[in-house]
Structure 1
Amino acid sequence: MPCDCNLRKRITRDKITLNKRDVYLDYNSTTKPNNRVLASIDQINRNYWGNPSAQNSRGVNLYNYINGEIHKAKLELGLNNMKIYFDTSSTSLIHKIGNIEKNVITSNIEHTSLLKVANNTVQVDNRGQLDLNKLESICKKQYPSLIVYSPVNHETGNIQPIAKIFEIAKRYNIKIILDAVQTINRLDREKWLPYCDGFYFSGHKIHGVQGAATLILKDSFINFNLDNSPLPFSLYSGTFNSPAVIGLLTATLDTLKSSKTVLNEIRVLQKEGINILAKCSKDIIFESDINNLTGVINISIPIVDKIEDLLMHLSIEGIQVGRLSACSGDINKKSYVLTAMGRDIKRASTSIRISFGRESKRDDFFRLSAALKSFISSNLP
């Protein structure tokens, strides 16, 4: 359930609605389903409706259709022997992994759902990168069974030293599962896919729909067994959500096939966005490592008295940005990610996350810059 913070109440009270001129810069929270995804879901609902575990021809046909789409994903990923599971969300997946693996380590800036199942956390430096010496020390002394972490941080967009983490893990025969929720659509696959034994992500982060996530395990993890359903790929506690899963598979193929072009466009836009924001106001501080990020820019504005007021101002201006995680509760609290990176309370409490993607434009940053500038100038002491 979403938080019941005062900002949401103010938006409801003031009847702030969406319009065609809205600027959407909160891709890390969710993305708009693309037309191919919607068409694939419509086809399931119209032509393949049924229960894939049912013992009848409609159920068998749907089951075979889903397997065909899974096979396409395997070919695109080059993982013919992979195991694949589907569930309602990445949060549900990581909790089920945690129920099996009892000695999990991660970094101290991961999503809260992952922090809840980890037994040990490794600190990061002021750039948000995992301390490799401390990671190796834990691996050497405590013999963890699994490392789970996100190559691209959900708040800052900073990229971890993926290959080096993998090298340490293999030295101690430890498996790695990547939280790829913010990675699959933000980082070239050759930079992360070879450096793990499995990964998971959600459909709504890659222009699919909400209600479906997937865990993919390579053959190096083939003995890891989560099966609890008549369907070998289902972890749903109830009826398998075939439309959402087909939407997820369609979105996955679209993301993988278009990633080179889209990522190049995002990198160009990222440089332009940083330059536009840098010229906006001297009171803006870049919290992301601008030389090591992808598709996300985190800034803080310490002169702001209350970040809720800035977010309300942006909403009135039709600009959608994020802060912390969408499911993190009080919007005014300090960022534990920035705190772990050594930022003071004021900076950690006045940060916003700007995340963008395939439909973002340079004009989005000009409009954001103008809105920030007007708010800052009207709130100067």
Structure 2
Amino acid sequence: MNVYMDNAATTAVKKEVLDEMIPFFTEKYGNASSIYRLGRESKKALDQSRNKIANILGADPKELYFTSGGSEADNWAIKGVALANRNKGNHIITTKIEHHAVLHACEYLEKNGFEVTYLDVDEDGLINLDELKGAITDQTILITIMYANNEIGTIQPINEIGEIAKENNIYFHTDAVQAIGNIEIDVKDLNVDLLSISAHKFHGPKGVGALYIRKGVKIHPYIHGGAQEKNRRAGTENVASIVGMAKAIELAYENLEEHNNHVMRLRDKLIKDVMDKISHVRLNGHSQKRLPGNVNFSFEFIEGEALLLSLDMVGIAGSSGSACTSGSLDPSHVLLAIGLPHGIAHGSLRLSLSDFNTEEEVDYVVENLITIVDRLRQMSPLYENVKEEK
């Protein structure tokens, strides 16, 4: 059996999405900036897609800008706002558990005269709102805090953060890449000024995303060149993928309740079975305020890499954290931030579910996890010491 449980890394493109995209590769392939018929067809599809996505997010279509994905959207939001507003201040607030697209963008700005406060989180991955308020200075121009964590699934109190930012006249950006397709989102209700999304997290194509920029936000362009995206993001539009993203988000929100009920049932079964049948295991992330399809375990006395390779040998695809850092041997910065020691953080496993997963697959994963964890622990001298003490 082949089981894919790494949907936080990427998702399969749904057939309906691909069907919508294909004509824009083969028949309606015009450049959306061209004035002849083929170009006008692409421009019309572009406008329809923008309207569809904006409507789902509660935004004005003029506030939505297409990007190459979540990382570009995050970088544009953070660097664009910082550089455009440095005459007002040079201070940014974020957290220690952000995606590296945010953390590395902030580190870049630190090297260029900006100051960044990295907020701590508690053992569940939640920020303290009082600490956020206390970090604000008269130089603070941007707060950037992710909606839901890509590793442990914890959902932050975005509405409250947005209110704090609004009260202090500070721009607020949220990386909502993991939240879109899992949580109802209305940008007006959330009090966000900028919001990043990426299509491949909700069964759309890779290499396309969007940045919501509230009307009136002062921000520099990120890519210079042509006049596309209202002179704010140059480059020939990826029409086929944008059409696919619009279809994918439409499908996600048409079936949101059904999707969430399905994946939460599987998630809760997976958590219960693993916690009941395997000792020395910790569930990472908030037990309630978490993404419906996210599970993150830490297994003591084993290495996450050995666990992943062993799972792969029996056809199970999982992750030890963010796909963007899977080549790193360092433990997850998220798990360290919630207080796990290096030894336990190294033994982490993230399993993330989608519409396509089944109860049979959950049983298969649990059955193999029991065997693999036991085998790997038999090779650990630390585990031998624990057994002897007992």
Contact 1:338 1:348 in 2 (8 A): yes
Aligned partner of 1:185: which letter?
G
CA distance in 2, matches of 1:22, 1:236: 40
Residue 185 of structure 1 corresponds to 181
Which of 149, 154, 172 does residue 153 from structure 1 map onto?
149
Residue 131 of structure 2 corresponds to 134
Cα displacement (A) at 1:238: 4.1
Contact 1:150 1:183 in 2 (8 A): no
Residue 57 of structure 1 corresponds to 37
Whether 2:221 is the aligned partner of 1:226: answer yes
Whether 2:121 is the aligned partner of 1:124: answer yes
Which of 234, 252, 257 does residue 254 from structure 2 map onto?
257
Cα displacement (A) at 1:317: 0.7
CA distance in 1, matches of 2:53, 2:61: 12
CA distance in 1, matches of 2:125, 2:270: 21
Structure 2 counterpart SS, 1:216: strand
CA distance in 1, matches of 2:129, 2:217: 27
Structure 1 counterpart SS, 2:122: coil
Structure 2 counterpart SS, 1:58: helix
Residue 2 of structure 2 corresponds to 22
Which of 76, 85, 109 does residue 97 from structure 2 map onto?
109
Using structure 2 for the length normalisation, give the TM-score.
0.85
Q: Structure 1 stretches of 5 or more lacking a match?
A: 1-20
After TM superposition, the structure 1 = structure 2 runs for residues 276-291 of structure 1, keeping only pairs within 5 Å, are 276-291=273-288
Structure 2 counterpart SS, 1:232: helix
Structure 2 CA distance for partners of 1:283 and 1:129, relative to 1, 3 Å? same
The C-alpha deviation readout for 1:223-250, integer Å capped at 9, x for no partner, is: 5463853222686654322111111111
Cα displacement (A) at 1:81: 5.6
Structure 1 counterpart SS, 2:349: strand
Which of 168, 171, 174 does residue 170 from structure 2 map onto?
174
After TM superposition, the structure 1 = structure 2 runs for residues 326-345 of structure 1, keeping only pairs within 5 Å, are 326-345=323-342
RMSD of aligned alpha carbons: 2.2
Contact 2:283 2:298 in 1 (8 A): yes
Contact 2:300 2:347 in 1 (8 A): yes
Whether 2:345 is the aligned partner of 1:348: answer yes
Which of 76, 85, 98 does residue 56 from structure 2 map onto?
76
After TM superposition, the structure 1 = structure 2 runs for residues 186-205 of structure 1, keeping only pairs within 5 Å, are 186-189=182-185, 194-205=190-201
CA distance in 2, matches of 1:292, 1:329: 25
Cα displacement (A) at 1:72: 2.4
Which of 184, 208, 214 does residue 204 from structure 2 map onto?
208
Cα displacement (A) at 1:350: 0.9
Structure 2 CA distance for partners of 1:235 and 1:24, relative to 1, 3 Å? farther
Structure 2 counterpart SS, 1:288: coil
Cα displacement (A) at 1:335: 1.1
Cα displacement (A) at 1:342: 0.8
Q: Structure 2 stretches of 5 or more lacking a match?
A: 83-90, 107-115, 379-383, 385-390
Cα displacement (A) at 1:121: 1.4
The C-alpha deviation readout for 1:66-123, integer Å capped at 9, x for no partner, is: 1122222333333236411112121122222233222432111001110122232111
Whether 2:361 is the aligned partner of 1:372: answer no
Whether 2:342 is the aligned partner of 1:362: answer no
Q: Pick which of 258-267 and 182-191 moved more.
A: 182-191
Residue 13 of structure 1 corresponds to none
Residue 265 of structure 2 corresponds to 268
The C-alpha deviation readout for 1:238-277, integer Å capped at 9, x for no partner, is: 4322111111111122122221221122222222221111
Contact 2:193 2:213 in 1 (8 A): yes
Cα displacement (A) at 1:43: 1.8
Contact 2:159 2:189 in 1 (8 A): no
Contact 1:188 1:260 in 2 (8 A): no
Which of 298, 302, 313 does residue 300 from structure 2 map onto?
302
Cα displacement (A) at 1:318: 0.4
CA distance in 1, matches of 2:323, 2:163: 33
Residue 65 of structure 2 corresponds to 85
Aligned partner of 1:144: which letter?
T
Using structure 1 for the length normalisation, give the TM-score.
0.87
Contact 1:26 1:322 in 2 (8 A): yes
Contact 2:55 2:61 in 1 (8 A): no
CA distance in 1, matches of 2:230, 2:272: 46
Q: How many pairs were matched up? A: 358
Identical aligned residues as a percent: 24
Structure 2 CA distance for partners of 1:277 and 1:258, relative to 1, 3 Å? same
Residue 87 of structure 2 corresponds to none
Structure 1 counterpart SS, 2:174: strand
Contact 1:208 1:247 in 2 (8 A): yes
Structure 2 counterpart SS, 1:358: coil
CA distance in 2, matches of 1:138, 1:249: 38
CA distance in 2, matches of 1:67, 1:173: 32
Contact 1:101 1:146 in 2 (8 A): yes
